[in-house]
Amino acid sequence: MNTGFWRHNWFVALLLTLLFILTDYSTLLIQGLERTAYDWGVQASSRPLLNNPIAIIAIDEQSIANLGRWPWSRQIHAKMIHYLTLGKPKVIAHTVLFPESQIDPGLSPLLNSLEYLKKSRLKKIFASPADKNNKFDPLLAQEIRDLESLLSAGVQSLNSDQQLANALHNAQNVLLALSLNPGDPRGNPEHDLPEYVQRFSIPAPVMSLQEKEMPTITQSALPPIASLGQEAAGMGILNHDIDIDGGVRSLPLVMSYYGAFYPSIALITSAMTLNLKPKDIHFEEQGIIRLGNLKIRTNDHFRMRPLFYQNETEGPTFTTDSFFDVFTGKIPATKYQDKIVLIGPTAMGIGNFRPTPISPAMATVEILAHAITSILNTNAFVIPSWGYYAKGGVYFTIFFYIWAFLPRLNASAGAIWTLAVALFLLFIHLYLMLNQSLWLQFMGPLVLLITGYFVVTTKRFLITEKGKLRSDAESAESNRMLGLAFQGQGQLDLAFEKFRKCPVDTPMLEILYNLGLDFERRRQFGKAAWVYQYIHDHHPQYRDVSQRIKRSTSLDNTVVLNGGTHTMGITELLDESGEVQKPMLGRYVIEKELGKGAMGTVYEGSDPKIHRTVAIKTLSLQNEFEGQELEEAKKRFFREAESAGRLNHPNIVTIFDTGEEQNLAYIAMELLKGHDLERYTKPNHLLPLPQLINIIAKVALALDYAHQNDVVHRDIKPANIMYEPSSNTIKVTDFGIARLTEGGRTKTKTGFIMGTPYYMSPEQISGKTVDGRSDFFSLGAMFFQLLTGTLPFQAKDMANLLFQITQEPHRKLTDLRPDLPPCLEDIMNKILEKDPENRYQKGGYIAKALVTCFKTLPRKP
Amino acid sequence: MTSKNRWSMAALSDTGRQRTKNEDRYLCDPVRGLAMVADGIGGHRAGEIASSLTVTLLDKLIHQNTQPLLPEQIRQIFIETNLAIHQLSLSQPQYQGMGSAVILALFQHQHVTVAHVGDCRLYRLRGHSLECLTKDHTLYQDLLNQGHSSAQAREVVSPHTLSQAMGSATQINPTIDQFSIHTEDLFLLCSDGLTDMLLDEEIQTILQSKWIYNMNKNVQQLVHMANHKGGADNITAILIQAKSNYPFGFEWFQNTAHCLQHKLFFKRHLHDKRK
């Protein structure tokens, strides 16, 4: 009922925007989109590498197959490093963690044997071959020494940790991986990190950092074992951030462990490449990490979003060789001269694979390679510190767009503008990522924009739809009314044109049906058939429409056929079979229309069985009443018709039959010749007095007879008295019918329009009970008019007329016609008494008085 | 945003408690300052046909005429409409005897032109006095006009009997008047379904009630009250006021007026269909 605030554009826009911002910050829906958009950006920015300094030695399936089950003996790693060292690589970063010692089960007994030998007297005896007191065979001494060195060699070869440590020591440029476990420490660490790890920590930032700017805090560590750690040239954290979708898009460059800061392996590898030490790594403002002259831009918590590179050609981005191929010397070590060599597992089962923006599964070592390249080329992506404000601003702009701009555009302009803005946002997003390495999260606003467009469009559609329905209904009503107006003016074609624009509902069917009847009445059967067909198309069962189509169509054809014969005076309409086609009502054949009465049409009909010609008066009761009232009206009608039918009097029209067909009640009665008395009411057409007295006396007697049979006429007026001068026949018609109309109207309507109450009695006007004496008053009024040519009451308007009839005396008869005998004046005064008690009580008395008076008239010679 | 509508209108029509269908029709168009209420008379569907025809044809003819309309033009429009309806009732037996009371108020600049036939009324609330500006075309009122006492008149005729209505006769004599408008004036157009149920004092109380700044509530209250007191006939009421008096939400009223109009229109349609 009210146009609520929720229908306003500002509300819709605000609600949507708030909903989106809330979704953006609290759920993953929009973040997922943002990540996808980020991945597009990364893919688009991804560029080929020139002079790539990174080589990956992949511990792949082939290596595992040939070198045995994982984890391998560290001897193999040691050998590899020895081999690589020959090629003089710039730096070797080993991504395999060595957190525990590798002890061969054979080492212990071998060590024991060696210890035993060393402590034994044998050893002491043959310790110094140069001893002069040595009485033993020098060869034996040599054998013991050989045994000792053999045992030592056995111990050496089984102590793989030591071998690897030696290799690291020998190489001097091997970086090892350290694993730190993020989490807020609750107290102090179990153990401080050993000295060999701490030496690789980087200097604490000189400025104070906000919580958000602090490196990721860790709570536990997994360092390599001491023997290896002491020989490592550097150590870095092998961690990366995993997004909610499992993908890796960023990695921490620095992490903090109980106040100390450790670089990631990517960062330390880059530093080593640039011949820098961990102490050369510095924190700067706005999340920048300075590495020599390199400024690496990071996001919150010093996390870097690396660029991912692609090779121009198919295949891996970085030089990747199988560990086995290098191990067996198939690939010369010189290939790795001055290269950054990354060793790590890529075989299924041992490698750690993660999706990245450019690949659905990438091994850790490959991610590391991309990260190092990003650092060295300072290619990292950054969400600028003002990024969130920018996002808010864009949200607001879109809100404004949905609120104020979009609703003012038409549908196509709205679509074009929205598309343009969406493309612009996408363009900005990609432009910033490609050219500025900036990531602004515009996907939320973009989706808001598109959703806003659809909501506004839907809303508009619904409103216009409603408006359309509304105006449709309005224009249908308007068309219906204009059509009716045309129909009233007889412009049936125009009317049908208007009606066809209206929806065909029940009232419309009725209107159309009536239009069809109108066409029929005009003998435009083709058009009538057309209208009936139209009804039939919408409602095949409507009344007798199918029959009417058939009939009208055949009649239409007949008219065409008889076009030439029409002049020969043949007026009947013949159908194709040559039979006379006439409408039936009950058992009567309708011959022609005689006229229209108060409630229906009067036809001339004939009863084919007894060849009697009748007048058929129809009453469309359903136009006047409905429902319960219609039933009552019908009952009343048949009761009245029955009582009127019982009347058998020479001056009362004989009623033959009553019936009902298709809601059309009818009375079949004697077909009267002659005409009614209407024409004798004009002053210069008055009937001669004797003739008139004769007529009035006969009517009075007829009324007397009817009253004795308890039938009151109620509507005595000149139009209801039929007169045939040749046979001097008088017939009173329409007994009791007036009551139907009257009763109906007063009962159903509070307001009604008065007919012409010139002949009404005072008691009829004031709505009191009416009996036969009321008819006498009406008879008197009619008599007065037939005598003088004017009515007994003359008023300027109807209200006044009614007032006069009920309250004021009628005009004096002799004033108007002084030639009349005084006895006639007396009779008139008595008939027109206001109080029925003072009138003649019987029709017979009136007739008698008239006859008596007539006798006093001077006879003309 | 300046609106070209100077008039706030609120309208409501209701079937009432005793009738099965609404034969009242109305039109309110704040843009043209045009308001109409028609109350149809006649059996079966003829009543609503008459009122609907009246509103449609008057609306169409007013639309075709150049503004501002002179009283004489309005008279011609009434006569033309009456003839069209009367012709239909003559040519179609099912519409015989139909007619419609109608009141038309055209708000132009500083005055309102009122034309009516039958017993729909125009009231004006100015300050603390409610005044009926129209005289019904009923036999009863005609007798009063001729100086008869109301007791005398009541004895002779029923107060509901119309002396003229649109479409009931070839001749018609609409009463046309012009009244000046004060800014605080509140106008009420209504069918007899409202005025038969409510005393003038009751109408005044509702119009002056605390909802004074919400015409829609007022109009709802009027209809509700009439229903409460019996709702013997269809009830239709339109409230009109110069807009400057309403301190907020101009568009709102206007929208609501339209909304109400159409909602009812549909309800009515549905109702008829169900039958």
For residues A292 and A378, give the distance between their C-alpha atoms in angstroms, rounded to a whole number: 12
Is residue A232 scored above 60 in pLDDT?
yes
By the 8 A CB rule, do A42 and A438 touch?
A: no
A268 or A543, which is more confident: A268
For residue B5, give how far its alpha carbon lies from the nearest alpha carbon of chain A (Å): 18
Contact call for B87 and A488, based on CB within 8 A: yes
By the 8 A CB rule, do B142 and A774 touch?
A: no
Single-letter amino acid code for the residue at B169: A
Locus of tokens 């009321």 = A774
Locus of tokens 């649109």 = B166
Q: Which of A507, A596, A627 sits opposite B45 (nearest CB)?
A: A507
Q: Is B171 on the interface with A (CB under 8 A)?
A: no
Average pLDDT over residues A314-333: 86
Structure confidence at residue B227 as a pLDDT band (50, 70, 90): very high
Chain B residues with beta carbon closer than 8 angstroms to that of A505: 269, 272-273
By the 8 A CB rule, do A42 and A307 touch?
A: yes
Lowest-confidence region among A324-328, A372-376, A408-412, A574-578: A574-578
Chain B residues with beta carbon closer than 8 angstroms to that of A490: 87, 91
Q: What is the pLDDT of residues A789-830, one digit of tens each?
A: 999 998 877 788 888 888 889 999 888 888 888 889 999 999
Is residue A344 scored above 60 in pLDDT?
yes
Is residue A741 scored above 70 in pLDDT?
no
Query: DSSP 3-state assignment of A600?
Result: coil
Contact call for B60 and A478, based on CB within 8 A: yes
- Nearest chain A residue to B254 by CA: give it: A3
Q: What is the pLDDT of residues A423-477, one digit of tens each?
A: 999 999 999 988 888 888 888 889 999 999 998 888 888 877 777 777 777 788 8
Nearest-10 Cα torsion for B135, B137, B143, B147: 30
Query: DSSP 3-state assignment of B196?
Result: coil
Q: Which of A473, A624, A802 sits opposite B156 (nearest CB)?
A: A802
Residue of A485, A249, A483 lying closest to A383 (CA atoms) = A249
Chain B residues with beta carbon closer than 8 angstroms to that of A484: 49, 53, 88
A729: part of which helix (H) or strand (E)?
strand A729-732
Structure confidence at residue A51 (pLDDT) = 73
Average pLDDT over residues A218-235: 87
Q: What is the pLDDT of residues A39-87, one digit of tens each?
A: 888 888 887 777 788 899 999 888 888 888 888 888 888 889 989 998 8
Instruction: Choose the most confident range, by mean pLDDT, from A36-45, A631-640, A840-849.
Output: A840-849
Structure tokens at A561: 């056929």
Chain B residues with beta carbon closer than 8 angstroms to that of A749: 41, 160
Structure confidence at residue A358 (pLDDT) = 86
Chain A residues with beta carbon closer than 8 angstroms to that of B232: 750
Structure confidence at residue A556 (pLDDT) = 74
Structure confidence at residue A135 (pLDDT) = 63
For residues B195 and B235, give the distance between their C-alpha atoms in angstroms, rounded to a whole number: 9
- Nearest chain A residue to B270 by CA: give it: A505
Structure confidence at residue B13 (pLDDT) = 93
Chain B residues with beta carbon closer than 8 angstroms to that of A807: 152, 156
Average pLDDT over residues A759-765: 86
Q: What is the pLDDT of residues A405-436, one digit of tens each?
A: 888 777 788 889 999 999 999 999 999 988 88
Q: What is the pLDDT of residues B235-256, one digit of tens each?
A: 999 999 876 544 444 444 445 5
By the 8 A CB rule, do A155 and A107 touch?
A: yes
Chain B residues with beta carbon closer than 8 angstroms to that of A477: 52, 56, 265
Q: What is the pLDDT of residues B190-220, one digit of tens each?
A: 999 999 999 999 999 888 875 555 788 889 8
Chain B residues with beta carbon closer than 8 angstroms to that of A488: 84-92
Structure confidence at residue A846 as a pLDDT band (50, 70, 90): very high
Q: Could you tell me what percent of chain A has a pLDDT over 90?
A: 15
Structure confidence at residue A842 (pLDDT) = 92
Is residue B45 scored above 90 in pLDDT?
no
Q: What is the pLDDT of residues B1-21, one digit of tens each?
A: 234 567 888 899 999 998 888
Q: Which of A600, A744, A754 sits opposite B139 (nearest CB)?
A: A754
Q: Is B3 on the interface with A (CB under 8 A)?
A: no
Structure confidence at residue B44 as a pLDDT band (50, 70, 90): low
Structure confidence at residue A1 (pLDDT) = 35
Structure confidence at residue A130 as a pLDDT band (50, 70, 90): low
For residue A437, give how far its alpha carbon lies from the nearest alpha carbon of chain B (Å): 46
Structure confidence at residue B124 (pLDDT) = 93
- Distances in Å between the Cα of B216 and the Cα atoms of A103, A677, B212, B241, B250 are 93, 58, 10, 12, 12
Structure confidence at residue A620 as a pLDDT band (50, 70, 90): low
Average pLDDT over residues A301-327: 84
Is residue A587 scored above 60 in pLDDT?
yes
Chain A residues with beta carbon closer than 8 angstroms to that of B97: 753
Residue of A201, A204, A175, A210 lying closest to A282 (CA atoms) = A204
Is residue B79 scored above 90 in pLDDT?
yes
Angle between helix A627-646 and helix A737-748 axes, rounded to 10 deg:
160
Q: What is the pLDDT of residues A529-580, one digit of tens each?
A: 999 999 999 988 888 888 888 888 887 765 443 333 332 322 344 444 444 4
Structure confidence at residue B267 as a pLDDT band (50, 70, 90): very low
Q: How far apart are the first and last CA of chain B?
A: 45
Q: Which of B44, B53, B153 sits opposite A623 (nearest CB)?
A: B44
Q: What Rg do the C-alpha atoms of chain B give, in angstroms?
A: 18
For residue B70, give how far its alpha carbon lies from the nearest alpha carbon of chain A (Å): 24
Contact call for A485 and B93, based on CB within 8 A: no
Contact call for A803 and B263, based on CB within 8 A: no
Residue of A340, A382, A347 lying closest to A173 (CA atoms) = A340
- Averaged pLDDT score across all residues of chain A: 83
By the 8 A CB rule, do B105 and B189 touch?
A: yes
Mutate to test the interface with A, among B52, B98, B161 (most CBs of A within 10 A): B161
Is residue A316 scored above 80 in pLDDT?
no
Q: Is B90 on the interface with A (CB under 8 A)?
A: yes
The ipTM estimated for the assembled molecules is 0.80
By the 8 A CB rule, do A103 and A360 touch?
A: no
Q: Which of A474, A488, A754 sits opposite B91 (nearest CB)?
A: A488
Contact call for B60 and A482, based on CB within 8 A: yes
Contact call for A751 and B118, based on CB within 8 A: yes
Read off the pTM. 0.58
Contact call for B216 and A1, based on CB within 8 A: yes
Contact call for B99 and A601, based on CB within 8 A: no
DSSP A621-648: HHHH--HHHHHHHHHHHHHHHHHHHH--
Chain B residues with beta carbon closer than 8 angstroms to that of A624: 43-44
Is residue A240 scored above 80 in pLDDT?
no
Chain B residues with beta carbon closer than 8 angstroms to that of A600: 93
Q: Which residues contact B181 (CB under 8 A, 6 or more apart)?
A: B107, B110, B111, B112, B242
For residue A360, give how far its alpha carbon lies from the nearest alpha carbon of chain B (Å): 57
Q: Could you tell me what percent of chain A has a pLDDT over 70?
A: 89
Contact call for B256 and A3, based on CB within 8 A: yes
Structure confidence at residue B97 (pLDDT) = 79
A752 or A704, which is more confident: A704
For residue B252, give how far its alpha carbon lies from the nearest alpha carbon of chain A (Å): 6
Q: Return the beta strands (E) in chain B as ranges.
A: 7-14, 24-29, 34-41, 99-108, 111-117, 121-126, 129-132, 175-180, 186-190, 235-242
Q: Is B167 on the interface with A (CB under 8 A)?
A: no
For residue B160, give how far its alpha carbon lies from the nearest alpha carbon of chain A (Å): 5
Structure confidence at residue B58 as a pLDDT band (50, 70, 90): very high
Structure confidence at residue A611 (pLDDT) = 81
